Structure 1
């Protein structure tokens, strides 16, 4: 794990870009994320949100720019090495091993996400078993630990990815659309879990189109458009930004969000 001043940002990226030929999927992203906060990233489909996650978590190499986790530059690091440093993530689409049980999925995450392994084999230890059990209990999947992951419904698959990330003992967690496609009561359950993760002192960056979820949890919000930052600021100010309204929210959603924040402040 990195060690650095508690007042220093936990994550910094400077002019990070990802080009596919002439297309700039991510176009000069620069951010500093304070420890213990929740950064929410929104924006229309194709804005570059997931590509940004892929680049800074080592899934896809950046075309340009640099990134730091604490005082360690992670530019060019592999995704497993970044995870082992303390940066975990989930994915928009299902990223579980359907042929393994729920518990085995989390044990794999703990095994390869905590420290580098020379031999790619699953060796159970009490530490791994305890990490998996605690993570499954944390997200509410302990009673399904021995089920094949293939049998899980959508909500539980999302919770399984979160459990796998939690089992790596992260300091920084990237969540890609953790409530996409869920019902209202399911969204509320994920919201409670994210709040519990934050209460542990984990810094969170999340992508989400469900604005109630995004704005209720976030300390700060970034809205992306065409690979760039269109807005960066307080959640309560998102609906007041004319560029965000025109490019993403629309007048109807903007009005609803204004009423939402007015009710919260009343």
Structure 2
């Protein structure tokens, strides 16, 4: 569904990513791990079109999108979340999702266009999907950090994406919310969506991922099944510190 081939990214004289090649297939969850500064978020930005690589090629469903904008990739079925919350805090949870639903619709987007009954049903369905039924009237600013993360997932899912990129979706949430988010993301993957997820919670990655990719100093150190990767001596020395 999405692939990176020989991707490199240089800022000034600093090589942030070097010759990274990865693929994510339909209904597969690829966990992306590595030490801070390894280039994980930079890779997600390149995959989503926020940043253009210095070298290499990005394809979405076998179409070359290396020079395509983030908007064009979104129209092709790519959605993502960010490390920091990106919500309209003065709007309700339902209004945030409604804007995402309208933006994904076929008509030219206008935040002032009245939402029809179908849009309202879609909002309710998305909130229920992320375990927030009946929370549509709550202002986004009044939600817990965990619920804000769930709301961001609902907004990302509003476009019915075929590929979902998640950049540390569990960052800063409570243990209870981690379990809930893990369950939701697993259900998204099981529905056939290709998921690439950057995450520091190792138990989440090992429990969810079909494959794990390890970045170190901007290079792909290892990629494979979770058990295979965590038993790799190079990975243990670079990141994990000991066998899991």
TM-score of the aligned structures, taking structure 1 as reference length? 0.86
**Contact 2:79–2:163 (CA under 8 A) maintained in structure 1:** yes
Which of 138, 144, 162 lines up with 2:153 in the alignment?
162
Shift, 1:241, TM fit = 1.1
**Contact 1:14–1:28 (CA under 8 A) maintained in structure 2:** yes
Give unmatched runs, 5+ long, in structure 2.
none
For these two proteins, the number of residue pairs brought into alignment is 243
Which of 140, 153, 172 lines up with 2:163 in the alignment?
172
Deviations 1:33-60 (A, max 9, x none): 2211110000011111111111110112
**Contact 1:84–1:114 (CA under 8 A) maintained in structure 2:** no
Aligned residue runs from structure 1 range 1-266, under 5 A: 10-115=1-106, 117=108, 120-123=110-113, 124-251=115-242, 254=243, 257=244
Structure 1 residues 59 and 125, CA, compared in 2 at 3 Å: closer, same or farther? farther
Shift, 1:15, TM fit = 1.3
State the Cα RMSD in Å.
1.6
The CA distance in 2 between the partners of 1:228 and 1:248, in whole Å, is 13
Which structure dedicates a bigger proportion of its chain to helix? Answer: 1
Structure 1 residues 129 and 84, CA, compared in 2 at 3 Å: closer, same or farther? farther
Shift, 1:150, TM fit = 1.0
The CA distance in 1 between the partners of 2:41 and 2:199, in whole Å, is 10
Deviations 1:108-159 (A, max 9, x none): 2222245573x55342234433322211110012222111111111101110
The CA distance in 2 between the partners of 1:172 and 1:244, in whole Å, is 27
The CA distance in 1 between the partners of 2:27 and 2:227, in whole Å, is 19
The CA distance in 2 between the partners of 1:133 and 1:174, in whole Å, is 23
Structure 1 residues 113 and 225, CA, compared in 2 at 3 Å: closer, same or farther? farther
**Contact 1:84–1:116 (CA under 8 A) maintained in structure 2:** no
